[in-house]
């Protein structure tokens, strides 16, 4: 046969080393070896504190049991008496070992000798078991004493292979010598020694396996602890990074908020300047100039197709050259036969809407006066249709109405927070879109700041002037009384009623009779004209239509109640419930 190549031999050797290393839990690093040894010493000391006193008691009990009284010696054979006397002497000789083990474990656990205490105790008691087995040969042929000590030491001590070899080797040598000297029968002697060898091999293997199990357990605990520390460090680092990112987001949000505030301030300031310039331009400019497609206002907004016209001016589709976005451009001509107060109201709308940041309120982009004397206002171009057009298809289900009302009232609440009242909530001023949040609230041209009572008399609506659309006016608007955000809530209630019933709340001829109905006639219960409306929704609409503003909910309260109702009805988002718009409708009439 040829020799095995060296590479194959080395590969086989590495395989067995790897197998043993994996099976034994892997080789410990120097630091882990020290920690494992310290843990083993502490465990062994705790066990010695219990076992050493217990073994001392065992020795004393054996001495008492095997001590032969003087009266019994005459009736006892010489062989039996020798067995008893030898056992007593052996147990008496082992008592100092038990005392030594207990003393070190209790009083000197940190001494250098304490680290070897488990080996000394195990070797000593294995020798004790070997001697007991040899003495037993005087009377018996078994090796039970040595067997018991072998298995007990394997379980309690769990020595590594190298330590187990010398401990069990010492015990084996003593028991073989003892059996050889004290067992007269050669056949029994051979059988006993073979039994001892079997017991020693099994005990040594058991001790080694338990030692491996302890090392694997130690390695796993250390790995888990290390992973836990690493996870804690990762969590700490993640929390730190999240905190830094949140702080950065907050900082940037504050910067954006400051920029928005500056932009709104600039729009309001510019609106004031434009308002004062209108009178001068109206006197200086004559003729009937019109904008044409391709014209550019303010070197930024390119005029496109004309979308609509009214008494105050026109609405054009356009493009913002700064961003490339599509925009709607409202234009007023200073030479039109419109009262100056209406022009100021147009300029004021920009300042008011600029203060409101809500996705359901049309976004104001810019307001300015061109070099050609065109007063213009740029806002986002909406793709959708008005609620007025949508109503032609008939009543809505209550879940859709509730979701619509939630969004509408939430937008009004945002305006009220900034001190702005819309004052003309009606179907023509609500644009339905197929993107979140499903609608846009338009035309704050009649809006009034809560604090405008301190403004100059020429810049605010004259006292006693009735403004709004008769079918959707609150009683306090009809009576030209102080108007608050509760007026918008009343108008919203009228809209919700109409969406459910497919008709107005008050259907009478003549604007004056409609207006007086708002003041003096109790509105009907929506359930009397629309079947299937829940009591909860009907009660909310009735609350919104209360004649006394103080009895109506705020817009925020109404939005919350409508949201809860819509959620209970499992209503999807408003934009998901609306049918696809038939065309892009941005035609707005100027008042």
Q: Which amino acids are annotated catalytic?
A: 424
Cis previous bond, 437, omega within 30: yes
DSSP class per residue in 435-471: STTSEEE---TT-EETTGGGS-GGGSPPTT---S-GG
Phi, psi of 396 (to 5 degrees): -105, 155
Alpha helix (H) residue ranges in 108-185: 117-136, 144-157, 161-182
Tokens 């031999």: give the residue: 9
CB-based burial of residue 280 (10 Å sphere; 0-12 exposed, 13-18 middle, 19+ buried)? exposed
Q: Which of 352, 358, 355, 393 is nearest to 559 (CA)?
A: 358
The conformation of residue 316, written as its DSSP 8-state character, comes to E
Residue 206: both structure tokens together: 């058991």
C-alpha–C-alpha distance, residues 313 and 525, integer Å:
41
| Polymer length in residues for the chain | 591
CB-based burial of residue 531 (10 Å sphere; 0-12 exposed, 13-18 middle, 19+ buried)? exposed
Q: Which of 149, 119, 120 is nearest to 134 (CA)?
A: 149
Contacts for 93 with CB less than 8 Å, ≥ 6 apart: none
- Whether the CB-CB separation of 356 and 418 falls below 8 Å is answered with yes
Q: Where are the extended beta strands (E) located within 148-288?
A: none
C-alpha–C-alpha distance, residues 66 and 92, integer Å:
11
Q: Starting at the edge strand that comes first in sequence, how are the strands of the sheet with 430-433 ordered?
A: 384-386, 430-433, 439-441
- Whether the CB-CB separation of 555 and 378 falls below 8 Å is answered with no
């Amino acid at each position: 046969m040829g020799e095995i190549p060296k590479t194959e031999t080395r590969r086989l050797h590495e395989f067995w080393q790897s197998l043993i290393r994996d099976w034994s839990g892997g080789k410990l690093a120097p630091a882990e070896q020290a920690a494992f040894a310290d843990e083993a010493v502490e465990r062994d000391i705790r066990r010695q504190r219990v076992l050493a006193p217990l073994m001392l008691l065992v020795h004393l009990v054996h001495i008492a049991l095997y001590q032969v009284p003087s009266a019994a010696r005459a009736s006892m054979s010489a062989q039996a008496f020798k067995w008893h006397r030898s056992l007593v002497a052996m147990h008496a000789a082992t008592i100092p070992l038990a005392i030594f083990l207990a003393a070190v474990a209790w009083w000197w656990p940190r001494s250098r000798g304490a680290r070897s205490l488990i080996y000394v105790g195990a070797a000593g008691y294995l020798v004790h078991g070997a001697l007991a087995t040899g003495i037993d040969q005087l009377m018996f042929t078994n090796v039970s004493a040595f067997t018991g000590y072998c298995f007990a030491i394997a379980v309690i001590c769990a020595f590594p292979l190298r330590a187990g070899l010398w401990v069990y080797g010492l015990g084996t040598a003593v028991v073989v010598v003892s059996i050889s000297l004290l067992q007269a029968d050669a056949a029994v002697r051979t059988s006993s020694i073979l039994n001892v060898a079997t017991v020693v091999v099994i005990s040594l293997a058991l001790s080694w396996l338990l030692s491996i199990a302890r090392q694997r357990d130690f390695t796993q605990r250390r790995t888990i602890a290390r992973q836990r520390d690493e996870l804690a460090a990762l969590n700490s680092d993640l929390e730190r990074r999240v905190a830094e990112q949140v702080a950065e987001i907050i900082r940037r949000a504050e910067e954006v908020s400051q920029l928005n505030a500056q932009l709104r301030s600039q729009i309001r300031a510019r609106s004031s300047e434009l308002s004062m310039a209108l009178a001068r331009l109206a006197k200086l400019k004559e003729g009937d100039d019109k904008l044409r497609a391709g014209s550019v206002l303010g070197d930024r907004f390119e005029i496109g197709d004309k979308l609509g016209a009214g008494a105050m001016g026109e609405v054009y589709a356009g493009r913002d050259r700064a961003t490339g976005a599509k925009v709607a451009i409202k234009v007023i001509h200073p030479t039109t036969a419109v009262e100056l107060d209406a022009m100021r109201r147009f300029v004021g709308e920009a300042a008011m809407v600029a203060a409101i940041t809500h996705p359901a309120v049309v976004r104001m982009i810019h307001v300015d006066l061109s070099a050609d004397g065109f007063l213009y206002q740029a806002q986002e171009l909406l793709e959708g249709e008005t609620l007025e057009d949508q109503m032609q298809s008939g009543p809505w289900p209550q879940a859709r109405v509730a979701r619509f009302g939630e969004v509408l009232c939430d937008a009004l609440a945002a305006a009220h927070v900034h001190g702005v009242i819309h004052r003309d909530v009606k179907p023509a001023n609500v644009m339905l879109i197929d993107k979140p949040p499903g609608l846009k609230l338009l035309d704050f041209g009649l809006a009034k700041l809560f604090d405008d009572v301190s403004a100059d008399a020429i810049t605010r609506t004259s006292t006693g002037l009735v403004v709004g659309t008769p079918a959707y006016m609150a009683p306090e608007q009809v009576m030209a009384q102080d108007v608050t955000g509760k007026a918008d809530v009343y108008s919203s209630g009228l809209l919700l009623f109409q969406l459910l019933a497919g008709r107005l709340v008050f259907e009478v001829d003549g604007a004056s009779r409609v207006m007086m109905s708002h003041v003096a006639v109790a509105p009907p219960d929506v359930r009397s004209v629309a079947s299937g409306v829940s009591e909860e929704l009907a009660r909310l609409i009735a609350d919104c239509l209360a004649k006394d503003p103080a009895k109506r909910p705020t817009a925020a309260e109404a939005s919350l109640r409508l949201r809860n109702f819509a959620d209970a009805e499992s209503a999807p988002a408003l934009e998901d419930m609306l049918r696809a718009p038939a065309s892009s409708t941005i035609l707005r009439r100027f008042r």
